Structure 1
Amino acid sequence: MLPASDNHMERRRPKVEAKKLGPLLPEEVINHTWCIEEEISAGAFGAVYKAFDLVKGNYVAIKASKTLENSKRSHIRWEAKVYEQFKGSSHCPKMIAYDVNTTPHFLVLELLGPSLSYLVKRLKSKALPKGIVAAIIKQCLGAIKDLHNACFIHRDVKPSNFAVGSGSNRSKIYIIDFGLCRKYCHEKECPFSERFDVGFRGTVRYASTRAHFKKDLCRADDLTSLFYMAYELLAGQLPWKHKSDTNVILSMKLKLPPTTMAEALDVNFKLFAEHLNYTSEPNYEMIEALLVNVMQEDNVDENTLFGWEHLLKKEERKISKHKQNCKEIEEQCARKAACAGEEEMGDEK
């Protein structure tokens, strides 16, 4: 078992070897400590499981590799190194341990709440109030800023890679899944020189046009993906949601750059969209101030409990009211049917 620390940092993302590994099974015990309960999610490089710590008596999340890898080129080792460098951020989940000397390689993390993607899907009304969106994006921006300050770019910013905390931290948003992270500079130095034709990185729906063109990604590309997230939350969907052809999606993104998309949004989001370029350091404080403006305009207090619970409870009340209305209609129909039956019996007499 390796401790949750490692000072050496690799610059390149490790390569995946071909041999696939089966999933972890319920009640399987890892390193005599963590008992697997269920799979939470799965991605290209690994699956995440809910597990019970038999020693400490609490729940954790375990990310296990899906392929047989060399310990020195392990995706789990790489993610563990990112967590170690990023751990000073309040938006970083706590890393408990990792092990790359066993099969599969695995990473143990604090157990978070649901992802933003899951929460949005729970809501029937996909378009959210702009003040709530600004509050969500403000926290996501803070997480991305902290990751950038740790000298990494995420390269796969999307709703499913943000999650809310649990318990007393349920109003906080965390950024997760660092499998595609890349170190873009050494501490207190300028970004590395741009590379060319480095291959696609990210998720097509939220990827910047630079990612489509297989260019070297930068901090601005993370913010472009964050803008697409904001637009999706505000409008209910992205213009290319129902498109599957990558070239068609790229064509739509070129015809609808963020500045054009933002014309239909609040002026503050338009200013956000205008602040995206390659080498200069993003003005995070300016973007944060724009988001605070939106929150104030919509009377959303960032110090109050995060809005998801209110929205979910409101949705549950709507469903409950709908069920009650259906029940009342059924009862009315039953009474009418009973009355009609009594009238027919009276006519027969």
Structure 2
Amino acid sequence: SGLIRLFPKLSKKNVSKPLFKLGDKVGNRWIINGMIGSGGYGQIYYAIDERSEEQLGVAIKTESKIRKGKTSKRMILEQKVLLRLQGRSHAPLMWGSGSTSKVNYIIMQLLSKNLSDIRKQSPYKRFSRSTTGRILIQGIAGLRDLHHIGYIHRDVKPQNICFGLTEVSKHRLIFVDFGLARRYRYNNGQIRPLREGCGFRGTTIYASLRSHEGMDLGPADDLISLYYSAIEMVRGSVPWKRSLHSSDIKMAKFQMQEDDFRAVSKYVGEGFRELGRAVTCMDADDEPNYYELQKIMMEFTANRPLSDPYDWDNDFEEVLQENHLNRHLRF
């Protein structure tokens, strides 16, 4: 079944500086059972709840309290954002958080492999139009929820998008990693004034042109990163895949806009082109019309239900049927 395919791979191998080890008990009830991944900012562990028969387990996200001599703030921010997102469909459930003398941690819902890893299992390293369109509809909803609590993500990319792992959540898209999030709107609804010279934020391949320019970002920039992610999902790569320098990547993104998204939407569909135009014509302090953006994609997917099977549920057979696209997709 699709769920087997989605389950994160556990690594039992040792990383250089593990923050927890196998068998450690966290928060008096969660027993560390393996590592799901590790990155620049910390590690994610798989743990089992000793008080529960429910054996799906949880993910425990960790970071060292001190990083490069400074107190690490990413997880404190992440916890704040996650807490405010509880109860929204596209955010991970948070079971708790805490710290030891050396480590901050958050205990959260165990999720699927990320979309980047799932895409690489596909025969053409891509998703079908229908799966991509429905990922976009859900992604727009998830970003709307985040923006509504006054935050922007600033690092939207396939690696930060997962699905649930239970029967009820397996077709539900979930954003992760709010460590680069920033408050862009105050509680009273006022937009924070845009700053000058902010430096680069995000991941080069998916960052908006504003980010390349070192300008302040807004809700539209998250949507642009989601769109760049979708190009990679449906075409198997972005046009700037082989560019090594940030300046070349920036140029390719600019040229794609100048081309009015013709090349990138060729064989994918007019709706895909329309979405590209719609997300890139907004300013940083614009309030996106999320429903209008979703409508473009609903039309694109012929209103296919979000609960219908996705590519990984049926061995990517829809990808294989899209011969026209598969033949033309080599950037």
Q: Name whichever structure is richer in helix by fraction.
A: 1
TM-score greater than 0.5 by the shorter chain: yes
Matched letter for residue 270 of structure 2: V
Counterpart for residue 120 of structure 2:
121
Q: Which residue of 2 aligns with 1:161?
A: 160
**1:252-293 CA-partner distances (Å, limit 9, x unpaired):** 222222863355422212221222322221111111001000
Q: Deviations over 1:207-235 (max 9, x none)?
A: 11111122111111101101101111221
Deviation of 1:173 after TM superposition, in Å, equals 0.7
Q: Identical aligned pairs, as a percentage?
A: 27
Aligned to 2:240: 240
TM-score, scaled relative to structure 1:
0.78
Unaligned runs of 5+ in 1: 1-19, 317-349
Q: Which residue of 2 aligns with 1:24?
A: 20
How many angstroms apart in 2 are the aligned matches of 1:83 and 1:204? 25
The number of residues matched between the two structures is: 295
TM-score for both structures, normalised by structure 2: 0.82
Counterpart AA for 1:223: L
Are positions 1:41 and 2:40 aligned together?
no
Per the alignment, residue 187 of structure 1 pairs with: 187
Question: In the alignment, is the contact (CA less than 8 A) between 1:47 and 1:66 conserved in 2?
Answer: no
Structure with the greater alpha carbon radius of gyration: 1
- Whether 1:309 aligns to 2:305 is no
Question: Higher mean Cα deviation, 181-190 or 143-152?
Answer: 181-190
Distance 1:314 1:304, change over 3 A: closer
In structure 2, the CA distance between the partners of 1:223 and 1:254, relative to structure 1 (3 Å rule), is: same
TM-superposed CA distance for 1:27, in Å, is 2.2
SS in 1 for 2:162: strand
Where do 5+ consecutive residues of structure 2 fail to align? 1-15, 321-331
Q: Which residue of 2 aligns with 1:95?
A: 94
Deviation of the 1:246 alpha carbon: 1.7
Per-residue displacement from partner, 1:136-162 (whole Å, max 9, x unpaired)?
111111111111111110000000101
Match of 1:280 in 2: 286
Q: Tell me the equivalent position of 1:68.
A: 66
Q: For 1:178, what is the secondary structure of its paired residue?
A: coil
Deviates more, 1:63-72 or 1:277-286: 63-72
Q: What residue is the counterpart of 1:85 in the other structure?
A: 84
* Superposed displacement of residue 22, structure 1: 3.9
Q: Counterpart amino acid of 1:282?
A: P
The separation in 2 between residues aligned to 1:122 and 1:66, in whole angstroms, is 32
Where does 1:96-245 land on structure 2 (aligned, <5 Å)? 96-100=95-99, 102-168=101-167, 169-245=169-245
Question: 171-180 or 257-266, which moves further after superposition?
Answer: 257-266
Deviation at 1:31, TM superposition (A): 3.3
**Higher RCO structure (Cα 8 Å, ≥6 apart):** 2
Cα 1:165–1:53 shift into 2, 3 Å:
same
